A and B are shown apart, each in its own frame.
Chain A
């Protein structure tokens, strides 16, 4: 997939210090609610006005796409609890109608960011703009945001229907209208039949559906999803994930989704923001985050990546496993063009080519035509050498088979494999099409080469 999105990494790297670079575009048909940064300077908090406006809107029935979608901008948010810094100058911009996922390891501040947007946390400093208005001072119960929590957030004393109707009840919608609307929403999430059941009579997945319906019932300006799938089992998780996405697209509601599950983030979001230590490392389309990570941290956190020792050579090339490949620098990698520098080369498992090698072949004798037919049709690489290895482990994963290969040494004129001069027998992980993995078993002697594509390089020290 990386070929389709191959772009210079610099263009997509999130730049936290320059918010102007990622200014949102107003796409709302009414033209209202421009989310550009400039409008925020004049727009104060006007909670009373817009919350009342939404209250009227909530009385509407029908589930048309939203008349207006608002943009969100978090500006330089900071929040610390004693010694712990949860947000360290976080800036995120979400375009109207967009679904942005914040992804990061636990403790990276993603949940704090969402809770700050919802109004449950007060940032120490920074601004939160919704539709151009700074809502930092607006209390949570007047922010008009629909939120779905991790689990157990349904009111246990109310039936599914009453749960969904809760927000409408607070908005004094008359009982018949709110009942009707709640029923519609339950049908929308596929639970039209379960309106009379109480939360403990619903499965985990059903509970989260009701929670979603409840959040949508108030026609919120913003939908906030706080790891809503993490307590569910795998199958329910996948189906609910797809449903959330299709509902969100249909309603066109601006959505912030927080998760520690990269698979969820990449498959669900328009753009993924990878967070670390209270800051945004990269905010970009899932494909871009995967193929062109902005920092070594992103590269490692999103997907599996092999880190191989390499050496830059003239002409923006890097020498790795005895091959010379075009290099794209990332993060704090040394400047290109200088003399040979040790670097770390980041390679995804699917870019590793493993081919069988007749046992007993002396090191150095390399078959120049790999058995991989697709590889064979490619233009001849800069170098035809590769690394010798032995398959240690083989894991069947459906369409692909993952191989763990111990690198034994280099063929021909390569240098020793290893970091810091250690001739370690490092391990490399390769995903190859299962059809081509038939002859490869633990113990098989193989030749490891890299697909002839540009590779990412970084400073070895920065990667750790």
Chain B
């Protein structure tokens, strides 16, 4: 029967996306009122506090609407230094996280697949140990540590790497699972690349999205972390927000809202630019392992 196939009419394989789109359309018809009920409840629950916070930040001392609180943000004396301190810590944590994880994970993926489980377990441990407890441990363990480590906020940066480990690992793991790293490295080796060249010219560019997600997650974590910073008594952006909240609550709320909206916009841009894959990388970060055949 092979003679039946020919150049005049090559049978086209079915497009899975089209089939799935049709299935989705059918489902959309079926999903009924319950969906909208859920959406309505969610919208009320998640938006009302934001609206209330906005209303609060716009409420002037004398009862008039004013955007004064937003204007005051930049003129607060410690705003700049606190934000800068957090950004520094964030960049430090991102750099250490990537420098630590990318080569290690590449090596484990290619050379020691049996160690994958071990690495994975280690990266889950920070979820078991609450930041508060870690802070307690840090105070105990590094009591006699050198001044450069314990005497400056640097220690926070080092510990933030640990806190970000579960999320950064999953983001990178999803990326490594999506590309055939083995073949890529083998091909680059075939073309004469050395290990370092392969890491920077082949591995990193192919893990672009994953590296970006890992970096964004780490940065977001650092910019929002309060427990450790407060217990270790270092001034960061989140602790400044708390601090200012005691005297000028409206400014504190205004800053928080601005930060929230900016973070969301940043994520929207990243997801939109990255298309579905980028979005998936962010969403899949926490669960990582769920891959379709």
Q: Do A and B have CB atoms closer than 8 angstroms in the complex? A: yes
Binding site for B on A (CB under 8 A): 81, 86, 105-107, 111-112, 115, 120-122, 150, 152, 227, 230, 260-263, 266-267, 290, 300-307, 349-350, 397-398, 400, 402, 429, 431
- Contact of A106 with B8 at beta-carbon distance under 8 Å, contacts A115-B26, A120-B23, A122-B29 already known: no
Given contacts A105-B11, A111-B14, A260-B12, contact A81 B3 (CB under 8 A): no
Q: Answer whether residue B5 sits at the interface, using C-beta atoms and an 8 A cutoff.
A: yes
Could you list 23 A-B pairs, sorted by A, with CB under 8 Å? Answer: A81-B22, A106-B12, A107-B15, A115-B26, A120-B26, A122-B26, A150-B19, A230-B13, A260-B14, A261-B11, A262-B5, A263-B2, A263-B5, A302-B4, A303-B4, A303-B8, A304-B3, A304-B9, A305-B8, A349-B6, A397-B2, A397-B3, A429-B6
- Whether B25 is near chain A, meaning CB under 8 Å from some CB there, is yes
Q: Does B293 contact A (CB under 8 A)?
A: yes
In chain B between 154 and 194, which residues have their CB closer than 8 angstroms to a CB of chain A?
A: none
Give Cα distance in the complex from A306 to B282, angstroms: 53
Check B3–A121 contact: CB distance below 8 A: no
Evaluate contact between B4 and A263: CB separation under 8 angstroms.
Answer: yes
Contact between B1 and A266, CB atoms less than 8 A apart: yes
Ranked 6 nearest A-B pairs via Cβ: A304-B6, A301-B9, A300-B9, A106-B14, A263-B1, A106-B12
Q: Which residues of the partner chain B approach A307 to less than 8 Å between Cβ atoms? A: 8
Contact A431:B1 (CB < 8 A) given known A86-B22, A120-B23, A121-B26: no
Q: Given A120-B26, A122-B26, A263-B4, list of 19 further CB < 8 A pairs?
A: A81-B21, A106-B12, A106-B18, A111-B19, A111-B22, A121-B26, A122-B29, A150-B14, A230-B14, A260-B13, A266-B1, A267-B1, A290-B4, A302-B9, A303-B4, A303-B6, A304-B3, A304-B7, A304-B9
Q: Report yes or no: B3 in contact with A349, Cβ–Cβ below 8 A.
A: yes
B contacts with A, residue count (CB < 8 A) = 23
Q: Which residues of B contact A397 (CB under 8 A)?
A: 2-3
Residues of B within 8 A of A150 (CB): 14, 19
Q: Which of B1, B4, B5, B12 touches A105 (beta carbons < 8 Å)?
A: B12
Interfacial chain A residues near B3, Cβ < 8 Å: 303-304, 349-350, 397, 400, 402, 431
The interface bits of chain B over 22-35 (1 if a CB of A lies within 8 angstroms of the residue's CB, else 0) are 11011001000000
Rounded to whole angstroms, the CA-CA distance of A397 and B3 in the bound complex is: 8
| Cα–Cα distance between A302 and B1 once the two chains are bound (Å) | 12
Knowing A106-B18, A107-B18, A120-B26 are in contact, say whether A304-B5 is a contact too (CB < 8 A): yes
Q: Check A227–B14 contact: CB distance below 8 A.
A: yes
Q: What is the chain A residue whose CB lies nearest that of B18?
A: A107
Complex: how many Å from CA A106 to CA B7?
17
B25 to A, closest residue via Cβ = A81
- A424–B247 Cα distance when bound, in Å, is 89
In the complex, A121→B2 CA distance in Å? 35
Find chain B residues with CB under 8 A from A303 CB.
Answer: 3-6, 8-9
Chain A residues within 8 Å of B4, by CB: 262-263, 266, 290, 302-304
Name the residue of chain B whose CB is nearest to the CB of A267: B1
Q: Report the Cα distance A290→B3, complex, angstroms.
A: 12
Residues of A within 8 A of B9 (CB): 300-305
**Which B residue sits closest to A429, measured CB to CB?**
B6
Q: How far is the CA of A112 from the CA of B18 in the complex (A)?
A: 11
CB nearest to A263 among chain B residues: B1
Residues of B within 8 A of A120 (CB): 23, 26
Find A106's partner among B2, B13, B23 (CB 8 Å cutoff). Answer: B13
Which residues of chain A are near B13, meaning CB under 8 Å? 106, 230, 260
Instruction: State the Cβ distance, B264 to closest chain A Cβ, in Å.
Output: 30
**Are A152 and B293 in contact, with the CB atoms below 8 A?**
yes
Q: CB-CB < 8 A to A86: which residues of B? A: 22
Find chain B residues with CB under 8 A from A290 CB. 4
Chain B: minimal CB distance from A282 (Å): 14
B203 vs chain A, min Cβ distance (A)? 31
- A262 pairs with B22, CB closer than 8 A: no
Q: Does A115 lie within 8 Å of B22, measured CB to CB?
A: yes
Task: Enumerate chain B residues within 8 angstroms of A349, measured Cβ to Cβ.
Answer: 3, 6
Residues in A whose Cβ lies below 8 Å from that of B21: 81
Q: Which residue of B lies closest to A431 (CB)?
A: B3
| CA A81 to CA B29, docked complex, whole Å | 12
A114 to B11, CA, bound (A): 19
Nearest CB in chain A: distance from B12 CB, A: 5
Asked if A106 and B25 make an inter-chain contact with CB atoms under 8 angstroms apart, the answer reads no
| Complexed CA–CA distance, A307 and B11 (Å) | 18
Docked Cα-Cα span, A121 to B6, in Å, equals 34
Kindly state the separation between the CA atoms of A400 and B1 in the bound complex, as whole angstroms: 11
Contacts of B25 in A (CB 8 A): 81, 121
A302 vs B4: C-alpha distance when bound (angstroms): 7
A350: chain B residues at CB < 8 Å are 3
Contacts of B15 in A (CB 8 A): 106-107
B29 surroundings in chain A (CB, below 8 A):
122
Q: Which residues of A contact B8 (CB under 8 A)?
A: 300, 303-307
Within 8 A of A (CB), among B235-265: none
Q: Can you name the residue of chain B whose Cβ is closest to the Cβ of A260?
A: B11
Distance between B216 CB and nearest chain A CB, rounded to angstroms? 33
Looking at the assembled complex, report how far the CB atom of A207 sits from the nearest CB atom of chain B, in whole angstroms: 12
Say whether, besides A112-B22, A121-B26, A300-B9, A398 and B2 are in contact (CB < 8 Å): yes
CA distance A135 to B12 in the complex (A): 32
Q: A429 — which chain B residues lie within 8 A by C-beta?
A: 6-7
Interchain nearest-CB distance for B168 vs A (Å): 30
How long is the Cα–Cα vector from A304 to B2 in the complex, in angstroms? 10
In the complex, chain B residues 253-293 whose Cβ is within 8 Å of any chain A Cβ: 293
Q: Which residue of B lies closest to A139 (CB)?
A: B30
User: Is B22 touching A121 in the complex (CB atoms < 8 A)?
Assistant: yes
The 8 A CB mask of B47-63 against A (1 = contact, 0 = none) is: 00000000000000000
Bound Cα distance from A400 to B3, whole angstroms: 8
Q: How far is the CA of A169 from the CA of B11 in the complex (A)?
A: 40
Give the Cβ gap from A199 to chain B, nearest Cβ, in Å.
12
Please indicate which of the listed interface residues B12, B14, B22 has the most CB atoms of chain A within 10 Å of its own CB: B14
CB distance from A206 to the nearest CB of B (A): 16
Give complex CA distance A227, B22 in Å: 16
Complex CA gap A103/B78 in Å reads 72
User: How far is the CB of A83 from the nearest CB of chain B, in Å?
Assistant: 13
Cα A300 to Cα B5 with chains together (Å):
10
Distance (whole angstroms) from the CB of B146 to the closest CB of chain A:
54
A17, B21: Cα distance in complex, Å: 30
Give the docked Cα–Cα distance between A115 and B13 (Å). Answer: 18
Residue of A nearest to B6 (CB): A304
Which of B11, B21, B22 has the most chain A CB atoms inside 10 A of its CB?
Answer: B11
